[in-house]
């Protein structure tokens, strides 16, 4: 709450309002955050607070949050009288409580990139205000104090889709700094849309980590009572503090129920549903482990699903290599894909191209000359599969063999987005074609695996009786 500021001194008086709606605010000497009594041409009385208006809405209505809690849009041209009875500006602040410190607990640093993994809600606008300092975090998710001691660093405030080379480099360096300080684990708060992209690039930029590096986000924002954010955050902090896997991982819901999180390897997972909680899936392998709030029958919060992991070892020295070539692209092949596109990329000086081809890694013949020209100009062209699961095996059909002859490098079972990150990272370090090929095909952390276990391909096909029975019993 704040004292009334004179109308003409309120900077946000017309926030989001244009045209007739703005004129009405002007005419009636009211504005955003005014407590008002508005009477319209049918003598209906609206008592409430005027809210800012979204820029994307029309310019005809004024939004009032009524004192009964509902919002309504009042048509500006219907307003007969409007009186300001008070002024109440929203205060965007999260209550801070000192995060308790316990020498028996491990130390975890949370690096923020801009996701709202913990937040407070502005009840009037519905806006979400991210919690960030340890104190804010403790105010929002007090359970964290039972798990670890926490420090936080806000690196940037960007949406997931705005993450890019600059942020990747800064993040890798920040992780290096934290490791050097001796923390027991690192959590990176991240929007989910490009979380696996970041997971992949960090796997290349930060190698040989002594401690876990855990990316975490939420599919239902933390302003909702049913949010997955708090549980994800608790599980991620626990993973950073206690898990034995010192790799770059994503920690997100396993099933859609509030049950356990899966730890996915940064190079091997993908967001597979636009909105489901359990959207991240490990592709072509099994996840590394599960982590839950409750302990399992062996008294651990973790159930490891594989032995093939890099174990926590605080004596290990990490290698931070934040290289990134920006002139790299990814193209999803489709019938009628026009060769112009590849020529154009080549003309624009692109140094790397990841193709997501059909089947085992194919594109059609009309593209061959363009690909040949591009490779001759020095572009590295690599092949992945748009089936997502499976290997690019280009020696099986004539088409594939032709492409190999053109100089396209098959990426085996590397995921297209991971291949993009790896190509950018490799091209950021060398121009030598031999070295490029060698680096691409030498796995850093399971981005290529020699074999695919039969349970690494699991797409449950609902509707089938046996799948329904399974879902009914286990998919909770």
Q: Does 464 bind another protein (CB under 8 A)?
A: no
Q: Spell out, one character per residue from 204 to 233, where the chain touches another protein: x when CB under 8 A holds, - when not.
A: ---------------xx-xxxxxx--xx--
**Cβ atoms within 10 A of the Cβ of 462, count?**
8
- C-alpha dihedral over 459, 272, 301, 152, to 10 degrees? 170
Instruction: Give the list of residues 6+ apart from residue 71 with CB closer than 8 angstroms, or none.
Output: 51, 63, 64, 65
Per the annotation, the verdict on 192 as an active-site residue is yes
CB of 221 to another protein, least distance (A): 9
Q: Does 75 bind another protein (CB under 8 A)?
A: yes
Instruction: Give the list of residues 6+ apart from residue 309 with CB closer than 8 angstroms, or none.
Output: 244, 245, 247, 288
In the bound state with another protein, the residue whose beta carbon lies nearer, of 28 and 312, is 28
CB of 443 to another protein, least distance (A): 34
CB of 255 to another protein, least distance (A): 8
Strand partners, 213: 186, 248
- Give dist(CA 79, CA 40) in Å, integer: 4
Interface pick for another protein out of 18, 89, 105, 124 (rule CB under 8 A): 124
**Residue 179 · residue 186 · CB < 8 Å:** yes
Residue 447 DSSP code:
S
**Cβ atoms within 10 A of the Cβ of 166, count?**
12
**Residue 94 · residue 48 · CB < 8 Å:** no
Interface pick for another protein out of 28, 61, 265, 422 (rule CB under 8 A): 61
CB of 101 to another protein, least distance (A): 22
Query: Hey, what are 386's tokens?
Result: 């748009």
Q: Using only the alpha carbons of the chain, give its radius of gyration.
A: 27
Q: One of 65, 109, 113, 116 is an active-site residue; which one?
A: 116
Q: Spell out, one character per residue from 312 to 341, where the chain touches another protein: x when CB under 8 A holds, - when not.
A: ------------------------------
In the bound state with another protein, the residue whose beta carbon lies nearer, of 237 and 309, is 237
Residue carrying structure tokens 């703005």? 22
Q: Spell out, one character per residue from 269 to 308, where the chain touches another protein: x when CB under 8 A holds, - when not.
A: ----xxxxx-------------------------------
| Cα distances (Å, whole numbers) of residue 131 to 28, 127, 154, 172 | 37, 13, 10, 23
Per the annotation, the verdict on 116 as an active-site residue is yes
Write down the H helix ranges in 107-254. Answer: 134-140, 165-181, 195-205, 229-242
CB of 273 to another protein, least distance (A): 8
Q: Spell out, one character per residue from 134 to 153, where the chain touches another protein: x when CB under 8 A holds, - when not.
A: -----xx-------------
Per the annotation, the verdict on 81 as an active-site residue is no
CB of 124 to another protein, least distance (A): 7
- Give dist(CA 204, CA 384) in Å, integer: 18
Q: Does 37 bind another protein (CB under 8 A)?
A: no
Catalytic amino acids? Answer: 116, 192-193, 271
Q: Which residues bind another protein (CB under 8 A)?
A: 40, 42-45, 51, 56-58, 60-61, 63, 65-75, 78, 90-91, 93-95, 120-127, 139-140, 219-220, 222-227, 230-231, 256-259, 273-277, 462, 468, 471-472, 475-476
């Amino acid at each position: 709450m704040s004292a009334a500021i004179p109308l003409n001194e309120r900077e946000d008086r017309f926030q989001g309002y244009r045209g007739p709606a703005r004129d009405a605010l002007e005419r009636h000497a009211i504005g955003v955050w005014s407590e008002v009594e508005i009477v319209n041409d049918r003598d209906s009385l609206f008592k409430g607070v005027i809210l800012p208006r979204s820029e994307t809405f029309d310019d005809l209505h004024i939004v009032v949050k009524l004192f009964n809690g509902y919002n309504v849009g009042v048509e500006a041209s219907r307003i007969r009288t409007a009186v300001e009875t008070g002024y109440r500006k929203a205060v965007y602040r999260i209550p801070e409580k000192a995060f308790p410190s316990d020498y028996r607990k491990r130390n975890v640093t949370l690096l923020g990139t801009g996701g709202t993994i913990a937040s407070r809600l502005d009840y009037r606008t519905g806006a979400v205000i991210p919690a960030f300092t340890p104190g804010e975090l403790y105010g929002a998710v007090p359970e964290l104090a039972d798990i670890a001691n926490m420090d936080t660093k806000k690196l940037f405030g960007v949406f997931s889709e705005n993450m890019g080379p600059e942020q990747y480099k800064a993040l890798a360096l920040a992780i290096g700094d934290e490791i050097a300080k001796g923390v027991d684990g690192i959590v990176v708060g991240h929007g989910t849309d490009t979380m696996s992209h970041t997971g992949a690039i960090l796997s290349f930029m930060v190698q040989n980590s002594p401690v876990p590096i855990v990316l975490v986000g939420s599919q239902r924002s933390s302003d909702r009572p049913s949010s997955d954010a708090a549980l994800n955050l608790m599980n991620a902090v626990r993973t950073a503090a206690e898990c034995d896997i010192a790799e770059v991982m994503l920690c997100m819901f396993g099933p859609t129920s509030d049950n356990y999180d899966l730890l996915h390897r940064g190079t091997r997972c993908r967001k597979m549903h636009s909105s489901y909680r359990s959207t991240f899936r490990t592709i072509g392998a099994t996840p590394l482990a599960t982590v839950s709030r409750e302990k399992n029958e062996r008294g651990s919060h973790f159930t490891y699903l594989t032995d093939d992991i890099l174990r926590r070892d605080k004596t290990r020295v990490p290698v931070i290599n934040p290289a990134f070539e920006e002139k790299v692209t990814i193209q999803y092949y489709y019938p009628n894909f026009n060769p112009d596109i590849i020529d154009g990329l080549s003309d624009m000086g692109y140094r790397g191209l990841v193709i997501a081809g059909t089947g085992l890694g194919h594109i059609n013949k009309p593209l061959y000359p363009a690909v040949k020209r591009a490779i001759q100009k020095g572009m590295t062209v690599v092949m992945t599969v748009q089936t997502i699961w499976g290997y690019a095996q280009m020696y099986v059909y004539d088409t594939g063999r032709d492409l190999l002859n053109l100089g396209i490098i098959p990426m085996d079972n590397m995921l297209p987005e991971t291949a993009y990150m790896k190509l950018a990272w490799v091209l950021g370090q060398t121009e030598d074609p031999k070295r490029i090929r060698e680096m691409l095909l030498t796995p850093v952390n399971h981005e290529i695996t020699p074999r695919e276990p039969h349970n690494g391909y699991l797409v449950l096909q609902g509707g089938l009786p046996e799948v329904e029975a399974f879902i009914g019993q286990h998919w909770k």
